[in-house]
């Protein structure tokens, strides 16, 4: 029988995972929640709910399966929210869409055909939609240099310098430098930050068709295609073979629990999953699950401090926060763009999907991500019809 006792090496990896996972993308999450109409207090509540939910979920799944099941918030989903903008019904309607997305994730774990339908969406179109969603935020570092040259170049310079030694630390260190720069160069007093302790905000959801089509469906597709599916694949690459259904059900239930407090979605992680499941966590695969357990506990602690991070962001120049978020998403944007254009016969449809999504087009209050997928799908269907 393999030894599965607690490992300090795995615990150290888990702390690193939590630092990287939270520090590299919390700005994206807050930016996304604010983008769909959340107040500062609601965004802080949403960030806390997500961090605590993914921490508890990761601990529960890892202890249950004795596998390093790393759970994260949907970073691409948060980027989608940032580009969607406020919807009819305000943040309460967005919360209603979060609940519907969570229900769809649970159903995909109970009813395999739903997850197969998501997987059946051509990878070129799904990646093109994701790339279009991310474009605006990935341009933020350039805008920061244009508006605040010295500060913008300082943040980008730190990111480039640290990235030469470790890609994992580049964005978290850039975020810390951003906070330091803001603290030194702007008048951010304690009175301007507001409450620094956790104050959960419970929201009564509203449901309308605009938010369901414009937020719930794209959020579900992005979360499944760019997070849950790769998350399962990473575990299999490292020799773990969990049944996807139970994992989807549990992450969907935790998403459901976090939604009334402003959380958009939690899901299986991909990048941090590779850290938890790799040899650096522990030479013995049977003991690596402790890295995911410790990471989950650290996420819970970070969630309790979410109000501090959100308050400081709210008092900072928005373009600098967006720049950090953009730097965090550059790798995802590059990968999505490359995969979108990989298949020559689907390239035209992928480009159409990308352009429509990135354009910020809105019809009937429904954002560009949905219409981009529709437009690209129509072009792809027409091209295949011509070939027959």
What is the mean predicted confidence (pLDDT) over 366-385? 82
Query: Beta-carbon neighbour count of residue 187 at 10 Å?
Result: 7
Residue 130 has pLDDT above 50, yes or no: yes
Q: Answer with the residue of higher pLDDT: 206 or 150.
A: 206
Rounded average pLDDT over 28-46: 91
Is the per-residue pLDDT at 253 higher than 60?
yes
Other Cβ atoms within 10 Å of 180 Cβ, number: 12
| Token pair for 38 | 């959340």
Span 380-387, average pLDDT:
81
- The model's pTM: 0.79
Count Cβ atoms within 10 A of the Cβ of residue 210 and give its class: 0-12 exposed, 13-18 middle, 19 or more buried.
middle
pLDDT at 191 over 60: no
Query: How large a percentage of the chain has pLDDT more than 90?
Result: 32
pLDDT band at 1; cut points 50, 70, 90: very low
Q: What is the pLDDT of residues 133-146, one digit of tens each?
A: 778 878 888 998 99
Q: Which long-range contacts (CB under 8 A, 24 or more apart) does 358-361 make?
A: 358/131, 358/132, 358/133, 358/135, 358/136, 360/83, 360/136
At 71, is the pLDDT very low, low, confident or very high (cuts 50, 70, 90)?
very high
Provide the CB-side half-sphere exposure for 34 (13 A, CA): 16
- Confidence at 197, pLDDT banded by 50, 70, 90: low
Q: What is the pLDDT of residues 330-343, one digit of tens each?
A: 887 888 888 888 88
State mean pLDDT over 51-62.
96
pLDDT higher for 308 or 284?
284
CA–CA distances in Å: residue 34 to residues 82, 188, 207, 262 = 7, 20, 19, 10
HEC letters along 91-114: HHHHHHHHHHHHHHHHHHHHCHHH
The least confident of 208-217, 274-283, 362-371 is 362-371
Neighbours of 148 (CB within 10 A): 18
CB 116: neighbour CB atoms within 10 A? 10
Q: What is the mean pLDDT of the chain?
A: 85
pLDDT at site 100: 97
**pLDDT at position 222, please?**
85
Per-residue pLDDT at 193 exceeds 70: no
| pLDDT tier, 370 (very low <50, low <70, confident <90, very high otherwise) | confident
Burial of 110 (0-12, 13-18, 19+ CB in 10 A): middle
Cβ proximity of 307 and 48 under 8 Å: yes
Per-residue confidence (pLDDT) for residue 43, from 0 to 100: 92
- Average pLDDT (141-156) is 89
Indicate if the pLDDT at residue 188 is higher than 70: no
The CA distance from 9 to 110, in Å, is: 36
Q: What's residue 196's pLDDT?
A: 58
């Amino acid at each position: 029988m393999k030894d599965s006792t607690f490992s300090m090496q795995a615990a150290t990896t888990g702390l690193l995972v939590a630092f990287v996972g939270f520090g590299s993308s919390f700005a994206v999450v807050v930016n996304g929640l604010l983008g769909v109409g959340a107040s500062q207090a609601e965004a802080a509540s949403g960030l806390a709910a997500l961090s605590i939910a993914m921490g508890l979920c990761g601990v529960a799944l890892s202890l249950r399966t004795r596998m390093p099941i790393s759970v994260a918030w949907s970073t691409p989903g948060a980027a989608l929210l940032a580009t969607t903008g406020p919807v009819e019904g305000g943040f309460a309607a967005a919360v209603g869409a979060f609940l519907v997305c969570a229900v769809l994730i649970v159903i995909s774990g109970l009813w395999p055909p739903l997850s197969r339908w998501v997987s059946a969406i051509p990878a070129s179109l799904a990646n093109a939609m994701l790339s279009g969603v991310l474009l605006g935020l990935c341009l933020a570092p350039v805008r920061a240099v244009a508006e605040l040259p010295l500060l913008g170049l300082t943040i980008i310079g730190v990111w480039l310098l640290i990235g030469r030694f470790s890609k994992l630390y580049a964005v978290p260190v850039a975020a810390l430098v951003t906070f330091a720069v803001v603290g030194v160069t702007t008048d951010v007093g304690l009175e301007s930050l507001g409450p620094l302790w956790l104050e959960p905000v419970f929201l009564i959801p509203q449901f309308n068709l605009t938010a369901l089509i414009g937020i719930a469906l794209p959020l579900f597709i992005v979360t499944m295609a760019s997070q849950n599916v790769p998350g399962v694949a990473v575990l299999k690459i490292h020799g773990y073979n969990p049944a996807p259904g139970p994992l989807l059900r549990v992450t969907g239930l935790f998403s459901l629990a976090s939604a009334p407090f402003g959380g958009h979605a939690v899901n299986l992680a991909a990048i941090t999953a590779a850290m938890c499941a790799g040899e650096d966590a522990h030479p013995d695969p049977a003991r690596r699950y402790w890295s995911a357990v410790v990471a989950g506990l650290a996420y819970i602690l970070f969630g309790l401090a979410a109000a501090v991070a959100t308050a400081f962001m709210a008092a900072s120049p928005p373009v600098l926060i967006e720049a950090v978020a953009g730097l965090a998403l550059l790798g995802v944007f590059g990968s999505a763009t490359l995969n979108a254009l990989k298949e020559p016969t689907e390239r035209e449809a992928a480009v159409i999907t990308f352009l429509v999504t990135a354009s910020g087009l809105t019809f009937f209050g429904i954002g560009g991500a949905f219409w981009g997928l529709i437009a690209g799908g129509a072009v792809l269907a027409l091209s295949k019809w011509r070939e027959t």
